[in-house]
A and B are shown apart, each in its own frame.
Chain A
Amino acid sequence: MLLIRCPYCDESRPEIEFRHAGEAHIVRSDKMADLTPDEFERYFFLRDNRKGDVYERWRHIHGCGRFLNAVRNTVTDRFLMTYKAGEPRPALPDPQAQAAATEGNGQ
């Protein structure tokens, strides 16, 4: 079971308090009625499903109830960061710091 840091509760909490909610930073148009079929396809159906670091939404549904965003590596399952819904997409932590976080513990 993963630990996920909730930016609202300011604490790492067990995964079963959370629910995954798909890819983050997909903008819903303020003119939905005017979307072309292609635009709708991109908005609703197409997802990158990347291997590696992904931006995704979670909801602390059995905690504070808030939606939050996370950067998670889909290979290691490691959360690189979490931040509040509505905050801009952050730059990824630099690879060196990441490598250190991945390796540099224990011994």
Chain B
Amino acid sequence: MSGNAYQGGANRLPGKGRLTPAKTVRFSFDGRILTGLEGDTLASALIANGIHLMGRSFKYHRPRGVLSAGAEEPNALMQVSRDSARYQPNVRASVQEIFDGLRASSQNRYPSLACDVGAVNDALSPLFSAGFYYKTFMWPRTAWNKLYEPVIRRAAGLGESPKEADPDHYAQRYAHCDVLVVGGGLAGLSAALAAAESGASVIICDEQPEMGGALHFDTSIAVNGETGFDWAQKTAARLAFMDNVRVLTRTTAFGYYAQNFVGLTERVTDHLALPSPDQPRERLWQVRAKRVVLATGAIERHMVFPGNDRPGIMLASAARIFLNHYGVAIGAKVAVYTACDSAYEAAFDLQDAGVRIPVIVEARDRPGGTLLEEARTRGIEVLTRHAIASTKGRLRVSSIAVVPAGASGKGRDIEVDALIISAGWTPSVHLFSQSRGKVAWDAESGRFLPGVNAQDCVSIGACAGTDDPVALVEQAVEAGLDAANGAGSEMSGRPVIDIDHEGSDAGSWSAGLVGAVGAPESGKAFVDFQNDVTAKDIRLAVREGMHSIEHVKRFTTNGMATDQGKTSNMHGLAIAAETLGKPIPQVGLTTFRAPYTPVTFGTIVGQSRGVLFDPARKTPLHACLETNGAVFEDVGQWKRAWYFPRAGETMHAAVSRECRTVREVAGLFDASTLGKIEVVGPDAAAFLNLLYTNAWDKLEPGRCKYGIMLREDGFIYDDGVVGRLAADRFHVTTTTGGAPRVLHHMEDYLQTEFPHLDVWLTSITEQWAVIAVQGPQARDIIAPFVDGIDISDDAMPHMSVREGKICGVPTRLFRMSFTGERGFEINVPADYGQSVFEALWERAEAMDACLYGTEAMHVLRAEKGYIIVGQDTDGTVTPDDAGLSWAVAKKKPDFVGIAGLKRADLQRPDRKQLVGLKTKDPTLVLEEGAQIVADPNEKIPMTMIGHVTSSYWSENCGRSIAMAVVAGGRSRMGETLYVPMPDRTIEVEVTDTVFFDKQGERLNG
């Protein structure tokens, strides 16, 4: 293990593999600096350095090595980091490419990988049988928080999540194509080429760094006179060069959604030593394809036998990839245990590379074709109808014990330093199944294959059960041409893809489930490595009454780990079926769900973080309010000026000053966020009659009215002032938060209930900046700037609107008030807002007026008893509840809510009604939301008769004020009620809702 005789690790074989010996990469594993080659995965680099022990299992903390060389890996999960902020747990060593400076560490072990105290779980394993969680953690109840959760959860871990914010950024892209090909093996590339050369737009993706799929390891296939892998690279390059093709490597199609919407995640920088800061770490592709071609291949299954999980035991295909692609020998004495012909080719490749093959243990009567003869010619001992009864080796397999199938006893010990296994191949029908396609059991080959399609897709190649390379290419080319044709592309011949295959008899590539059944009862024969589920666990689950595969899955957790049972599901199913004595298709298959492999949160979040998490809407006046010291609050997506503290001023002091100044002099307020809708057309008034409770016919042009809008159930939906600009033109205002839904509500009625009306609705919320000028001096402040409008009280009384100019720009000038003072709301086109505001403020400031924010606005309106929809109402408040029955027209034949209002429950006299509350102690400010009771001595639970909706300190009243909804409130005037709080009970008196200027004289100056 020490001393790199050869570049990139001692087990690297000169002349083998496709990596370049000169391109070395230095990385670390558990603190040890190691050298690998550019293009290595962590797994291949570690094996090249003689390291098979890569992790500890989830439950029993058993030492584990890498099982596979691909995305299906259940064992070799690691924490991988680039720097302190960039580290990720549960990275599959078989997928992660190494780069200079990469740091990997094993997880789920303490204090070290080789010596892990958690391994005591393995000795205690009789306690941890299937369903152990459900049986054990039920009692005693207190142990849950104190023992089970903190201790046992920690012992059964899957790495740690990073604690720092993710410094990387992630990109997202929508993409559209005629044909999406998933998988870049022989089938996928052939289909993509056929489709692309027919002129279709094509996206082809593959999860590996290079296209090729099984051609990475299968060196027996030559295409067009060159090696399969070389052909794959040239074909990928040719495709990438075409304008109508996008070739995506390191890209996993993880989810197949409705109408051929497929999610791909592209890993852009995880393999790079020095990524550019402009590069996203990952890129989410949301692809809409007219046709999806699934060429997702097949995944090899392991053999299930006691001790099948020791480091050094791996899938035959993995050993072949390490050898043929990475040039790494997994051992010097490698035995084979198989029920599938493809393992022989792995054995032969290893032998050709100088590795000794002490034995091939064959579970079947004999392998297919002439493999038996070839093995014997090569001098390899083949034990047919044999099984492995046990293995030895603490941190790496050192020997296997072989017995005749069905026999008991210790068997014959054979010394090895690695073991390759294969029980056959499972077609990867994950995406097909996610598309809601139905799989069908193929009894002859013993596997589930794509059956009826649910979407416009086609499965080809190994995932469709097509094993023979010649037939596979034929099928793929047909699929490609057909997909292009279906998308309306012109055919222009078919690509030439000639196969020369000297491999074994392809018909026997899948050996059913021989490897799973008949495993001896003794010892741990693992089915699901990652969740430590054994064959015994599955039999136990069935015996305990789990007869549905879905129940077996959840009881044993088989297939529920991060690998989602890619290697284990079929074994679990076969064992359950055998135990139940039923054929496999009758036991069924668990559901395949997205994602196919784990997807980072970053990919899903994409750009939507920081300032792009949610739009922050700023008004046209934002910058000048900020200059003048505004503190902003969030109101939905809007940033609104909350208050304007002067140096050393608390919020309370600032708000009190603002409230006082508005009533004594005047104040300027940014009301731009108010929703605004222009209602235009000869039937505008008729339309408003239907949408509001009020009557609009008699409103003269130039006048305004407060309107209430209901839902059909009779409850208040929104309110606002509506100005009539002309007979056929209204300027409607809505609450800030209600603007979008009110327009939607109005459009709904206009388009679907009252389409006969000639009227149109246009949002003008953002067309106008709105500066409210409120207070006794309001008119004096604006007078010098107004042009063409007589703003005297006689010419322009309260609740009127005029069009003219201010500061030389067009204005819609409203005389209205939400403070109870003489007031104007100046609407100017938004791009002029700042200039107009600055001119007004220069003069207002000189007159000792103030800027005020939303908090002062809330207090001032509460002093007048003006409601805020959504604060004093909650969707169950009628106009009468809110004391606004005067705004409901009595004679109109119809308006939205007219029927709802007539419901008996909405007429009850003891409904909660809006009232004022005064605390007996005037300095106490009630909490908004506090509950109100009539009898403070009632036993808990007390009868709650209402709650506080608005509550403030009122500087102008010299006391606290509050509004509340109280059952039968208007008949309780003068009554004393109680607000129980945790530390005391507060006495309050019920009053009307107007606390200041009860006669409303100040409105008129």
- Chain A residues in contact with chain B, CB under 8 A? 1-3, 14, 19, 21, 28-33, 35, 37, 40, 43-44, 57, 59, 61, 65-67, 76-78, 85-86, 102-103, 105-107
Q: Is B927 an interface residue (CB 8 A)?
A: no
Evaluate contact between B456 and A105: CB separation under 8 angstroms: yes
Q: Is B902 an interface residue (CB 8 A)?
A: yes
Q: How far is the CA of A52 from the CA of B631 in the complex (A)?
A: 53
CB pair A106 B456 closer than 8 Å: yes
Residue B753 CB within 8 A of the other chain: yes
Closest to A45 in B: B713
What residues on A are CB-neighbors of B436 within 8 Å?
76
Using A1-B257, A44-B713, A103-B453 as known contacts, say yes or no to A67 and B903 having CB atoms under 8 A apart: no
A59 & B713 in contact (Cβ 8 Å cutoff): no
Q: Once the chains bind, are B455 and A105 in contact (CB under 8 Å)?
A: yes
Please tell me if the beta carbons of B747 and A65 are within 8 angstroms of each other in the complex: yes
Q: Which residues of A contact B744 (CB under 8 A)?
A: 19, 59, 61
Report if B942 contacts A (CB, 8 A): no
Give me 5 A-to-B residue pairs in the complex whose CB atoms sit less than 8 angstroms apart, sorted by A's number. A28-B753, A29-B899, A43-B712, A86-B752, A106-B453
Q: Is the C-beta of B755 less than 8 angstroms from some C-beta in chain A?
A: yes
Residue in B454, B712, B755 whose CB lies within 8 Å of A44: B712
Which residues of B in the span 249-301 have a Cβ within 8 Å of any Cβ on A?
257-259, 261, 286, 288, 291
- Interface pairs A-B: 9 shortest CB-CB: A106-B453, A105-B456, A32-B899, A35-B899, A67-B751, A3-B259, A106-B458, A106-B457, A33-B898
B921 close to chain A: CB less than 8 A: no
Contact A1 B258, beta carbon cutoff 8 Å: yes
Which residues of B are found within 8 Å of A67, using beta-carbon distances?
A: 747-748, 751-752
Q: With a CB–CB cut-off of 8 A, which chain B residues contact A19?
A: 744
What string of 1s and 0s marks CB contacts (under 8 Å) between B515-534 and chain A?
00000000000000000000
- B138 contacts the other chain (CB 8 A): no
Closest to A41 in B: B903
Q: Of the candidates B258, B456, B457, B894, which one forms a contact with A2 in the assembled complex, judged by CB atoms under 8 Å apart?
A: B258
CB distance from B880 to the nearest CB of A (A): 17
- Bound-state CA distance A28–B895 (Å) is 11
What are the residues of chain B within 8 A of A57 when measuring CB–CB? 752
Bound-state CA distance A40–B902 (Å) is 10
Interface of A, helix, strand, loop or mixed by DSSP:
loop
Q: A44-B712, A66-B751, A85-B751 are in contact. Are A37 and B904 (CB under 8 A)?
A: yes
A interface footprint on B895-914 (CB within 8 Å = 1, 0 otherwise):
00011101110000000000
Q: Is the CB of B903 within 8 A of A40?
A: yes
Q: Quick one: which of B875-894 are within 8 Å of A by CB?
A: 893-894
Q: How far is the CB of A29 from chain B (nearest CB, A)?
A: 8
Inter-subunit contact A77/B258 (CB<8 Å): yes
Q: Does B452 contact A (CB under 8 A)?
A: yes
Q: Which of B456, B457, B712, B752 has the most CB of A within 10 A?
A: B752
Hey, which chain A residues are within 8 Å of B902, CB to CB? 33, 35
Are A105 and B748 in touch, CB under 8 angstroms? no
- Sample of 19 further A-B pairs with CB below 8 A, known A37-B904, A106-B453: A1-B261, A3-B288, A29-B899, A31-B894, A33-B894, A33-B898, A35-B902, A40-B900, A44-B712, A59-B748, A67-B747, A76-B454, A85-B751, A86-B752, A86-B755, A102-B454, A103-B453, A105-B455, A106-B455
Which one, B457, B751, B899, contacts A40 given CB within 8 A?
B899
User: How many contacts A-B (CB < 8 Å)?
Assistant: 73
The answer for the CA separation of A66 and B904 in the assembled complex, in Å, is: 36
Measured CB to CB, the closest approach of chain B to A15, in angstroms, equals 9
A57 to B894, CA, bound (A): 24
Residue of A nearest to B294 (CB): A106
Q: Are A107 and B458 interface neighbours, CB within 8 A?
A: yes
CB closest chain-A residue, reference B747: A65
- Indicate whether A105 sits within 8 Å of B904 (C-beta atoms), given known contacts A32-B899, A67-B751, A67-B752: no
Beta-carbon contact of B712 and A103 below 8 Å: no
Bound Cα distance from A8 to B898, whole angstroms:
32
In angstroms, Cα B258 to Cα A106, docked, is: 15
Cα–Cα, bound, A76→B748 (Å): 28
**Residues on the B chain within 8 Å of A30, using CB:** 894
| Cβ contact within 8 Å between B893 and A33 | yes
List the A side residues contacting B291 at CB < 8 Å: 106
Q: Which residues of A contact B455 (CB under 8 A)?
A: 105-106
* Bound CA span A105–B291, Å: 9
Report whether B898 and A32 are in contact in the complex, using a CB–CB cutoff of 8 Å. yes
Look across to chain A and name the residue whose beta carbon is closest to the beta carbon of B751.
A67
In the bound assembly, the distance between CA atoms of A19 and B747 in angstroms comes to 13
Contact across chains for A21 and B258 when beta carbons are under 8 A apart: no
Provide the residues of chain B in CB contact with A31, threshold 8 Å: 894
Q: How far is the CB of B174 from chain A (nearest CB, A)?
A: 8
Bound together, the chains give a CA A35 to CA B898 distance in angstroms of 10
**Contact: B286 with A1, CB < 8 Å?**
yes
Q: How far is the CA of A1 from the CA of B751 in the complex (A)?
A: 26
Q: Which B682-734 residues have a C-beta within 8 angstroms of A?
A: 712-713
Residue of A nearest to B895 (CB): A32
| Docked complex: B429-485 residues within 8 A CB-CB of A | 436, 452-458
A106, closest chain B residue (CB): B453
Q: Give the residues in chain B near A2, CB-CB below 8 Å.
A: 258-259
Query: Chain B residues near A76 (CB, 8 Å)?
Result: 436, 454
> In the complex, what residue of chain B is closest to A32 when comparing beta carbons?
B899
CB-based nearest B residue for A103: B452
> In the complex, what residues of A have CB within 8 A of residue B894's CB?
30-33
Using Cβ atoms and an 8 Å threshold, which residues of chain B touch A86? 752, 755
In the bound complex, CA of A65 to CA of B748 (Å): 10
Q: Which residue of A lies closest to B457 (CB)?
A: A106
Write out the residue numbers on chain B whose beta carbons fall within 8 Å of the beta carbon of A35. Answer: 899, 902
Shortest distance from the beta carbon of B302 to any chain A beta carbon, whole Å: 32
- The smallest C-beta distance from B713 to any residue of chain A, in angstroms, reads 6
Binary flags per residue of B220-257, CB closer than 8 Å to A gives 1, else 0: 00000000000000000000000000000000000001
Specify the chain B residue showing the minimal Cβ separation from A66.
B751
A97 to chain B, nearest CB (A): 16
Chain A positions within 8 Å of B753 at CB level: 28
| Residues of A close to B454: CB separation below 8 A | 76, 102-103
Q: How far is the CA of A4 from the CA of B452 in the complex (A)?
A: 24
Within 8 Å CB of B457, what residues of A?
106
Expressed in whole angstroms, the minimum distance between the Cβ of A22 and any Cβ of chain B is: 10
- Which A residues are in CB contact (< 8 Å) with B903? 37, 40
Q: Tell me the bound Cα distance from A29 to B744 in angstroms.
A: 21
Question: Are B748 and A21 in contact, with the CB atoms below 8 A?
Answer: yes
Taking CB atoms, residues of chain A closer than 8 Å to B898 are 32-33
Say which residue of A33, A59, A102 sits within 8 Å of B899 (CB atoms).
Answer: A33
**Residue in B closest to A79 when the chains form the complex, CB atoms:** B259
